[in-house]
Every structure is written in structure tokens, then in C-alpha cells.
Structure 1
């Protein structure tokens, strides 16, 4: 009998917790993969003070933008470049009036810590094939990943693209490029400065000159012109001192 009562109580408690979770307003945020750590922390802090359950979908900005265009249930979008936000504005898939630049980042070259690579000077005299050896250079795919596009632009402006292109290991997003270097499957990689900071297995060996590529900007926008209370609250929360402190902690430059 006691076992039966315990089971009944357990079922009632589980049902109660499940109902409480369902009662919270769901907020769905689509964001660039490079924002994974910072936004996860921000979402947790936001939910502590709001009756919400914030969920994130992290991927390449291009992948997310196309999903939003096709009607994916996103409420807030944060892109890793202006191009894919421009794309959604043109498609009238976001509220263009809500668009603003939230953050900035830097482009860096990384290598596995175990490799012991010394500081690399990024200029037009850098011998990419010699640096890489018989391995590869990991990047987000320049055909659609913002980090890869910035990398291609920087390498082109430095006159290094033709030597680099055949040696690229193209990843689906910047975190996948980071993982290739972490596992030693690529001897170097090009990622954002913030990605390098969250990994214990890689180190930054060079920072690309800011003049070698367009500013790395993260625009944010609401999807709907009449957003839900929860999505509007999260959108506003992104510019609070609490959120800014978390972004800075992970290496982003706040407005």
C-alpha cells in the first residue's frame, strides 16, 4: 500500500511540474552558432525573472534565415552578419523596424594547443601551405557561413586566397570548424575570437587585421510586427546590463 501511495504521489508531482512548465510562455530564438554559450547563459538568467521557457536553435545564420523564410516558428533572430538579416528584410520575413546591431566580434586564426604553434603574423607574406603542412585549414563554408565569408574576404584582401582555397576544410558552421581544430583534424582554423575563448583545446595564434574584412556585426530583430509579450521581453533583455555583462564575458564587443 505504501509503495502504491508513493507511486501515486510521484505521478501527481510529475504531472504538476509538467503542467507548470507548459504554463510558462515559450520563447523561441534562432541565433548564430557562435552565440551558443553566451545566449544559453542569458536565456537562463532571463527565465529566472520572467514567466518564460526560452528555447534556442543555434546554427549557421544562412540555415536559420532560410528556415525562417519557410515559416519556422522563430520569434527572435540574431545573425552573425548583416547579409542574412538583409535577406529576411527583403523577404519581409522579419520586422525590419526592430532591427538593430547588437554585437561585434573579431576574426582570428587558431591552432591546437598541443601543436605549440608560435604567434603567426597575418600579412601578404604568410606562406599558408607551409603553415598548414599536410593537413587542412578549418573554416565555416565560405559559400554560406558568415565566419567563412569573413575568412574568404580577409584572405582575398591579403592576397592569400588562391593558396588557401585548395587546403580548406569547410564546415557547416563556425563551431564545427572549431571542433575540427580541437580534434586535431585541422592544424589551423579561422573562427571568431569568441569561439577561441570557449575552447580549452585551442589557442589564438593570430588576429586578422580589422581592415582585411568588413566589420563582424550581429544584427538582431523580432520576427513578428506584433510580438508576444515573452519574445518582446527577451528582445529588450538583450540590451540590459545583465546581458551585456555576459556577452563581454564571452569576448563580444557590445554596442
Structure 2
């Protein structure tokens, strides 16, 4: 089965092919939006709402923010980038890829411990003991803690509560936060560190515990228009996303408007 990363690359290739055959008098080209994997349901809902207003529906490509940022740094064509953290957006900005003045933080999230829906255990996450006891000898799923935002947040939280050194050898590293969630859904790992919104999107998992906000950097989602954008719809859609109406859509999926 193709991974999210593979599907993202295929989407980019498809968009390039479409651009090559569009006539000059065609309707406004829909913007290509590269968005963090955790935004799948909410960003699709925002794109649908934008289309209902009479605009061409944006083309959405989802993957880990780290993977998307690297694609942009390598020159991949796109119009908007929505990251699950500020450092990867800053990296794209440092590479000179962002349109000046278009970078805006607009959403927040919570970091949680996901368990299978049938597992009714509650795990306190203000210290290492309860998590280590609940996990036992099993492995813990999380997005790559060296690159992917959800993994970076998770590593910081585990370090803060004193559990990282003991758990690091037993981490199952996933390519993005949704892949980590899938491991818990399939029973490949009893627990996974994901966002609260990811758990909300799946009936097969539940929240076993919430990491204290002070245990990790604030979870903030910035959006920006890329300097290489060629879609006249890109900036209007970006403004829609950060508007009260746009943020209300994301709030329905559990995100915190900022």
C-alpha cells in the first residue's frame, strides 16, 4: 500500500502534468497546498467550504511537515505550506522560499497518549512511572523524534518527565503522526504519542492521557504562501484559512484557533 509520503510525491507529479496542458484562458488554477499529515480531515473540510463559495477546490498533499519542507527547499512547485510546527516553517523561510509577510500562526493542538478504543486504562503523564508501568516491555509508537513535529514534541515531553532514556530503544519510529496512529489502530503498539485531533479522527483509538502543556514546546501550526506560487487563488485561500470562518472549521475537528 502506498505510504503518505509516496502519495504526496504522486500528487506533485500530477499537478505538474496538469499545469503543462492547461490553456492560457483556463479558469483560475486551484492552489496546491502542502499540509501536515495531522490536518487531513480538517483541511479537506476547509477546501470543500472554499469550493462552495465558488472557487476552484484547492489541491491538497499531506505528509510530515519535515518531508514537505524538504520538498519545498528542493524546489518542488506549490502555493501554500501548512506546517505542524514553527521550526520547519522557519527553515523554509531561511531558504528564501516564503512570500514576505505571508507567514501566520493560526492553530494549536494538544499532545496525547493514544490507546486502542477497548483499552480503558488512564495514564498520568506528569512523571515517568505511570507510563513505564502501563507500557511494560512493549514498544511505543511515535512519529520520527528526530525530524517530524509530533515526534519532536513527543521526545521533548518524554525527556521532561524523565522517561526518554528508558524508552528510546523501544520507540517505533513512524514517518508521520498518522502512521504512528495506525500502529496503535492495528494493535502493533499498545500506545502511541499523537495529537488530540488525530485520536478524534479515529473511532479505533482513545486518549489514555494528555501530556502537560509545559512538558513540550507549544504546538503551533503556521501557514504561508510560497514565493514561487503561481495561483491567483493562493493568497485568497490563505486568508480564508486564517479568518474567523476558516478557523471555525478547524475548531470543529479539535484544533485550537490562535
User: Given the two structures, how large is their TM-score scaled by the length of structure 2?
Assistant: 0.86
The answer for the alignment partner of 2:155 in structure 1 is 152
The answer for the alignment partner of 2:30 in structure 1 is 26
The answer for the alignment partner of 2:197 in structure 1 is 194
CA distance in 2, matches of 1:66, 1:55: 19
CA distance in 1, matches of 2:110, 2:117: 20
**Aligned-pair Cα RMSD in Å:** 1.8
Matched, 1:143 2:141: no
The answer for the alignment partner of 1:177 in structure 2 is 180
CA distance in 1, matches of 2:152, 2:175: 12
Query: Is the contact between residue 79 and residue 219 of structure 1 (CA under 8 Å) also seen in structure 2?
Result: yes
Query: Is the contact between residue 28 and residue 232 of structure 2 (CA under 8 Å) also seen in structure 1?
Result: no
Q: Cα offset for 1:226?
A: 7.2
Query: Is the contact between residue 108 and residue 207 of structure 1 (CA under 8 Å) also seen in structure 2?
Result: yes
Name whichever structure is richer in helix by fraction: 1
Query: Is the contact between residue 29 and residue 231 of structure 2 (CA under 8 Å) also seen in structure 1?
Result: no
Q: Cα offset for 1:164?
A: 1.2
1:168-203 deviation line (CA, Å, top 9, x unaligned): 111000000001001111100000011011110000
Q: Count matched residues.
A: 235
Matched, 1:48 2:57: no
Q: Cα offset for 1:227?
A: 5.7
Secondary structure of the 1:26 match is coil
Matched, 1:208 2:174: no
Query: Is the contact between residue 84 and residue 220 of structure 2 (CA under 8 Å) also seen in structure 1?
Result: yes
CA distance in 1, matches of 2:211, 2:128: 14
Query: Is the contact between residue 31 and residue 58 of structure 1 (CA under 8 Å) also seen in structure 2?
Result: yes
CA distance in 2, matches of 1:172, 1:102: 24
Unaligned runs of 5+ in 2: 1-21
Query: Is the contact between residue 79 and residue 229 of structure 2 (CA under 8 Å) also seen in structure 1?
Result: no
CA distance in 2, matches of 1:151, 1:51: 38
Query: Is the contact between residue 32 and residue 61 of structure 1 (CA under 8 Å) also seen in structure 2?
Result: yes
Which consecutive aligned stretches of 4+ in structure 1 deviate over 4 angstroms post-superposition? none
2:104 to 100, 114, 118: 100
Secondary structure of the 1:143 match is coil
CA distance in 2, matches of 1:172, 1:46: 30
CA distance in 1, matches of 2:69, 2:229: 20
Query: Is the contact between residue 137 and residue 189 of structure 1 (CA under 8 Å) also seen in structure 2?
Result: yes
User: Equivalences for 1:91-130 in 2 at 5 Å?
Assistant: 91-114=95-118, 116-130=119-133
Structure (1 or 2) with the larger CA radius of gyration: 1
Q: Point out the more displaced range, 46-55 or 176-185.
A: 46-55
Unaligned runs of 5+ in 1: 1-17
CA distance in 2, matches of 1:161, 1:125: 9
User: Given the two structures, how large is their TM-score scaled by the length of structure 1?
Assistant: 0.87
Query: Is the contact between residue 222 and residue 235 of structure 1 (CA under 8 Å) also seen in structure 2?
Result: yes
